[in-house]
Structure 1
Amino acid sequence: MRAIILSGAGRYADPWHPYAETSARLAELVAAAGYDVEVRDDVDAALAALRDDVDLVVVNAGDPDGPVPDGVEADAQVEVDDTALAAAMDRGIGVLAMHASASSLRDYPAFDHAIGARWEPEVSWHPPFGEARVHLVGTHAVCEGLDDFTVEDERYANLRLLEVIEPIAEHEEGGVRHPLVWAREFGRSRLVYDALGHDARSYDSAGHRALLARALEWLSHVPAPTADDRRGAAGPTSAT
C-alpha cells in the first residue's frame, strides 16, 4: 500500500502548528500500518500529480487563506488542479484528515465534499491547549476495542456540519459534547477526520495512537463496497 502525507508549508503553513514535526509522527504511524509513506510539503503539486497507485492521502495542513509564519512566502496565485484527487475519490481511496485540515484544501471541491464539516471563522473555536478527555461514542468499527483516553491537545468546537458524519469520539466543553473524530463513506472512498493533532504531544498519548491505528486499518479497506455491491453480493430476492 502507498500513502502520501500532505504537510503544511507555503500557503498551507500557519504560525500555530509545527506541521513538519507532526507529519513526521504521522509518517511513523502510517508506516507501522503497512504503508510505504511519502511526505510532501508541496501540497498543490502533490495533489495535481496524485498517482493511481496511492491508497491513502493524509492531510496535515492549514488554511491556504490564513496568515503564514514570518519569513514564509506564500504564492497566492496558485493554479489548483482537482482532477487527480476527484478521480482518486471516484476509484476508491482512504483519506485521513488531521486537526487543521478542517480549514484546509478549500480550493478542492472533492475534499470539501469528503470531509463532512469545516472550521468556520468567527463561529468555530477551541478552548485553551491542555489535557482533555476523549470520549469514544457509537458503534463504528474504528471504536472497536478502544476505551476513552486523555491527551494533551487543542480541541475544536462548533465546526460547521456540511454532510452526514458518523461520530467516533467527542469532547465536552461547557457542558456540551462536540464531535472530535468521525468517519464517512462516499462511493468507494473512506475518510476519517481527527480534530486532534495540534503538536507532537498529541501523539504521545497511547490512546490517540491506538485510535489512529484503528482508523488506518479501516481506511486501508478501499475501494470500499458500495450499497449496490452489497445488494449484489446478497443475491436476488424473491417476492412472497
Structure 2
Amino acid sequence: MKRALINWGGWEGHEPEACAELFAGLLRREGFAVDVVSDLGVYTDDAYMTSLHLIVPIWTMSQITPEQEAGLLGAVRGGVGIAGWHGGMADAFRQSVAYQWMVGGQWVAHPGDIIPYRVNIRDHHDPITQGLDDFDMVSEQYYMHVDPSNEVLATTTFSGEYGNAPWIAGTVMPVVWKRRFGAGRVFYSSLGHVRQDFEVPEARTIMLRGMLWAAR
C-alpha cells in the first residue's frame, strides 16, 4: 500500500485543515494509507520520510528550520513525490530559496484578489490534463515567478484590468506544472485558494491526478 503524508498548518485563510481532510479522503479512496499531521517537525524523521510515496504540504507562509528543510528536500531528492497547490505549496517559507527551487515557482501577486478568470489547458495528452477542456474559476489568479524548466500543463492570461496593473495585460502565466527534483516528482497547481475552489471538477481532478503522478 502506498503511503502519503499530508502536512498542514500556516495561514488559516487558505483553510489548510479543511483541504487536508478533503484530499486525505480522496487519496484513501485511491488505496493510500494517509497520515494527516500538523507539525513541520515530522520532516526531520528520516526513516519515516523515506518510507513515504507522497508528501502533500499545506503551509502558507510560516517558517521552516534548516533541519526541517533538509529533511523535506532530502526525501524528495531521494525519490519521494511531492504535490501541492496555491499558497500552501508556492507561498510557503518565503525565506527558503532552496525550497522554492524544488517547487519551481513562488507566488508574488494576485491582482484584484477574487476575480473571474479562465484556465487554459496547454497539454491535452498528459495524463494529468487529458480529457479536460478550458474552464473558468472565480478565485485568486496567481501571478508567479516560475522556473523555465517546468513542464507546463495549463496556463492563464492576465487581462490587466484588475489590481491597478495594466502592464501585465496579455501575460500568459503557468497554472499547473510538473517537474523533477533529484529522483522525486514534483507537481503544482495554483488553483485552490479555499476548499470551495475544489468544487470546480477540473480543479479537483487536476490536483488528484497530480498527486497520483507524483506518487508514481
TM-score range, shorter chain: 0.7 to 0.9
Query: 5 Å matches for 1:135-146?
Result: 135-138=120-123, 139-146=125-132
How big is the alpha-carbon RMSD for the aligned residues of Structure 1 and Structure 2? 2.3
Structure 1: segments with no counterpart, 5+ residues = 66-75, 222-240
Aligned match of 2:100 in 112, 117, 123?
112
Q: What SS does the corresponding residue of 1:185 show, helix, strand or coil?
A: strand
Amino acid at match of 2:22: R
Q: Which residue of 1 aligns with 2:154?
A: 169
Distance 1:18 1:109 in 2: 25
Distance 2:57 2:98 in 1: 13
Distance 2:92 2:62 in 1: 6
Divergent runs of 4+, >6 A? none
Aligned match of 1:125 in 107, 110, 133?
110
**Under a length normalisation based on structure 2, what TM-score does the superposition of the two structures give?**
0.82
1:201-235 Cα distance to aligned partner (Å, 9 max, x none): 111111112212321221121xxxxxxxxxxxxxx
Q: Which residue of 1 aligns with 2:36?
A: 39
Contact 2:82–2:215 (8 Å) recurs in 1: no
Q: What SS does the corresponding residue of 1:208 show, helix, strand or coil?
A: helix
1:95-124 Cα distance to aligned partner (Å, 9 max, x none): 11211021213465653321111124xxx3
**Are residues 127 and 177 of structure 1, via their aligned partners in 2, closer, same or farther at CA, if it must alter by over 3 Å?**
farther
1:165-222 Cα distance to aligned partner (Å, 9 max, x none): 111111222133211111102332111111111111111111112212321221121x
Displacement, 1:85? 2.0
Aligned match of 1:178 in 152, 158, 173?
173
Q: Which residue of 2 aligns with 1:5?
A: 6
Q: Which residue of 2 aligns with 1:148?
A: 134
Contact 1:166–1:182 (8 Å) recurs in 2: yes
Identity %: 24
Distance 2:7 2:69 in 1: 15
Structure 2: segments with no counterpart, 5+ residues = 160-169
1:5-57 Cα distance to aligned partner (Å, 9 max, x none): 1212xxx225x322111221222222233321111111x21211251211101
Matched pairs, number = 201
**Are residues 163 and 170 of structure 1, via their aligned partners in 2, closer, same or farther at CA, if it must alter by over 3 Å?**
closer
Once the two structures are overlaid, the 10-residue window that deviates more, 142-151 or 173-182, is: 142-151
Contact 2:157–2:173 (8 Å) recurs in 1: yes
Q: What SS does the corresponding residue of 2:52 show, helix, strand or coil?
A: coil
Contact 2:90–2:100 (8 Å) recurs in 1: no
Q: Which residue of 1 aligns with 2:189?
A: 194
Q: Which residue of 2 aligns with 1:54?
A: 52
Tell me if 1:92 matches 2:79.
Answer: yes
Distance 2:158 2:190 in 1: 14
Tell me if 1:217 matches 2:212.
Answer: yes
Aligned match of 1:203 in 198, 201, 216?
198
Distance 1:144 1:35 in 2: 23
Distance 1:132 1:25 in 2: 24
**Under a length normalisation based on structure 1, what TM-score does the superposition of the two structures give?**
0.74
Amino acid at match of 1:84: G
Distance 2:149 2:139 in 1: 26
Distance 2:26 2:116 in 1: 22
